[in-house]
Amino acid sequence: MENQKIGCLILAAGCSSRFQSNKLTALFEGKPLIRRTLEAVPTDVFSSVTVVTQYDGVEALAREFGFACVRNDRPDLGQSRSVALGTAAMADCDGIAFVVADQPLLSQELLRRIAAEWRAHPDCIVGAAHAGKRGNPNLFPKRFFPELLALTGDVGGSSVIRAHPECFRSVETDAASLTDVDTPQALEVLRGRR
């Protein structure tokens, strides 16, 4: 299954309403969250990397990394809009790993493990989890692309996973790696743990 084409889709178009400013530019250990996310992508594992965003600065940074960009002109329609735009842009892939841009402790190692597990089980959805609790990233095989494209509202791939629990395989990681930061307080808590 080494010839399977895996894409990596970074979701970076949210309005950060609970953060009250663009959280992707917030610093964690001296780097903006979006830069930390882009650096966490092991480019040798993925055939292509695409960033969905509404922000000029994010698009410029993604292009510095050599990543493709898709513009989300309607982020108000919720996460489903970014999922659909990115899935459509990467429709030639056999699987797509969906990565959110607000997990400061995401690592290349975790993404490598998810990709390796998916290559061993390419009909399954493979995602990160800790002690039975699912998180991100999640890698979906092509057979689920139609369901991802059909999502509406402020929902992502979790609803597809919930509809097919028998198809999900977890890759265990520590709780901190799964932590996303939706508020300034959450970012401060994470900073305090380091």
* Chain center to CA of 174: 17
- Over range 13-23, report the average pLDDT: 76
- What is the pLDDT of the chain when averaged over all its residues? 93
Q: Residue 1 pLDDT more than 60?
A: no
CA angle 139, 15, 108 (to 5 degrees): 35
From the list 108, 111, 50, the residue with the least C-alpha distance to 82 is 50
From the list 3, 172, 193, the residue with the least C-alpha distance to 104 is 193
Cβ atoms 106, 137 nearer than 8 A: yes
- Over range 1-26, report the average pLDDT: 83
- Predicted confidence (pLDDT) per residue in 73-111, tens digit: 999 999 999 999 999 999 999 999 999 999 999 999 999
Integer CA distances (angstroms), 104 to 39, 57, 66, 121, 181, in order? 11, 18, 21, 28, 8
Q: Residue 67 pLDDT more than 60?
A: yes
pLDDT at 20: 67
From the list 60, 77, 109, 81, the residue with the least C-alpha distance to 9 is 81
pLDDT at 190: 79
pLDDT at 114: 98
DSSP labels, 22-56: -GGG-EETTEEHHHHHHHT--TTT-SEEEEEES-H
From the list 171, 47, 162, 175, the residue with the least C-alpha distance to 120 is 171
Rounded Cα gap, residues 58 and 37, in angstroms: 11
DSSP labels, 56-84: HHHHHHHHHTT-EEEE-S-GGG-HHHHHH
Collapsed DSSP state (helix, strand, coil) of residue 139: strand
CA angle 42, 45, 46 (to 5 degrees): 95
- Predicted confidence (pLDDT) per residue in 30-61, tens digit: 999 999 999 999 999 999 999 999 999 999 99
